[in-house]
């Protein structure tokens, strides 16, 4: 069957592969797929499994934040180790007692708290978080926002940002967290933004920006979108689906 060609002479397959990393037009060999496609699938599956068990490179994050002149503090959730974290999602949402005590020394009046959380892919955090924070810091300086010290949270879920923000006295929190790895990407970072986080903040009061990575949403654009959302939250005094509905036709 002949291929459809674009005005640039590119085939449909080439154009589709330029737009997505998803598995498309793999071909077939007998009753299965070609060996190359099968091996690629197994490799990506192994990378996804590895990402779930990966660890945040705290030395790299510390060095990078020091270079940016941004103070930070390391905290943990109530999950004692990675295995318990994966078995008990509820514990990953709770800030440990030691974490509460560590943050008590930093309590003040801040506009935004930024949390780096390993989530389900520390790989994503190691690769993408610093670039996002660097751009966010620039946005904060332009807007004259006061940033709380960065919290690096281990074995953490999204909701751990709520007690962290309350502990330091921040009006809003941005949680940069490793997203669940898939077979197309294991380095995808998500940003969850919440205004006035409380003890039992429902997920409907958060706004998520996902797929922050080199082959997805670049860090500069992500930081820009986060800044715009925070502007709206500070103006309207709420976040989540209610804020999203304001922009709906």
In a domain, 13, yes or no: no
Confidence of residue 102 (pLDDT cuts 50, 70, 90): very high
Q: What is the pLDDT of residues 222-238, one digit of tens each?
A: 999 999 999 999 999 99
Q: Which domain holds residue 187?
A: 58-246
> Among residues of the chain, what percentage have pLDDT more than 70?
90
In a domain, 32, yes or no: no
Round to whole Å and give the CA distance between 20 and 43.
Answer: 18
Which tokens is 70 given? 């941004």
In a domain, 153, yes or no: yes
Q: What is the chain's Cα-based Rg?
A: 20
In a domain, 231, yes or no: yes
Pair 122, 51: CB distance under 8 Å: yes
CATH number of the domain bearing residue 227: 3.40.50.11240
Residue 63 assigned to a binding site = no
In a domain, 218, yes or no: yes
Residue 173 pairs in a beta bridge with 113, 194
Residue 208 assigned to a binding site = yes
Pair 127, 178: CB distance under 8 Å: no
In a domain, 33, yes or no: no
Tell me the torsion sign for CA atoms 58, 62, 68, 72.
Answer: positive
| Paired sense of beta strands 110-117 and 150-154, if any | parallel
What's the pTM value of the predicted model, to 2 decimals? 0.85
Q: Averaged over 89-118, what is the pLDDT? A: 97
Helix, strand or coil, per DSSP, at residue 211: strand
Q: What is the pLDDT of residues 53-69, one digit of tens each?
A: 788 999 999 999 999 99
Confidence of residue 41 (pLDDT cuts 50, 70, 90): confident
Residue 179 assigned to a binding site = yes
Q: What is the model's pLDDT at position 2?
A: 47
- The DSSP output letter for 189 is E
In a domain, 102, yes or no: yes
| Count of domains for the chain | 1
Q: What is the model's pLDDT at position 248?
A: 65
In a domain, 51, yes or no: no
Three-state SS for 40-101 is: HHHHHHHHHHHHHCCCCCHHHHHHHHHHCCCCEEEEEECCCCHHHHHHCHHHHCCECHHHHH
């Amino acid at each position: 069957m002949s291929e459809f060609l674009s005005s640039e002479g590119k085939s449909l397959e080439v154009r589709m592969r330029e737009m997505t990393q998803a598995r498309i037009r793999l071909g077939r060999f007998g009753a299965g797929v070609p060996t190359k496609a099968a091996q690629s699938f197994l490799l990506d599956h192994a990378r996804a499994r590895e990402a779930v068990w990966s660890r945040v490179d705290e030395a790299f994050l510390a060095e990078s934040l020091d270079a940016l002149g941004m103070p930070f503090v390391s905290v943990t959730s109530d999950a004692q180790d990675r295995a318990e974290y994966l078995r008990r999602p509820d514990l990953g949402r709770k800030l440990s007692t030691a974490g509460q005590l560590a943050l008590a020394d930093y309590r003040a009046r801040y506009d935004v708290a930024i949390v780096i959380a390993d989530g389900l892919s520390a790989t994503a955090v190691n690769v993408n978080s610093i670039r996002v924070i660097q751009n966010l810091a620039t946005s904060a300086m332009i807007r004259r926002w006061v940033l709380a010290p960065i919290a690096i949270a281990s074995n953490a879920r999204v909701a751990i940002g709520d007690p962290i923000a309350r502990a330091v006295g921040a009006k809003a929190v941005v949680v940069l967290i490793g997203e669940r790895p898939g077979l197309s990407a294991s380095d995808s970072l998500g940003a969850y933004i919440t205004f006035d986080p409380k003890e039992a903040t429902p997920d409907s009061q958060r706004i998520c920006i996902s797929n922050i990575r080199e082959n997805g949403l670049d860090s500069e654009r992500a930081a820009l979108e986060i800044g715009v959302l925070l502007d709206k939250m500070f103006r309207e005094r709420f976040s989540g689906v209610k804020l999203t509905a304001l922009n709906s036709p």
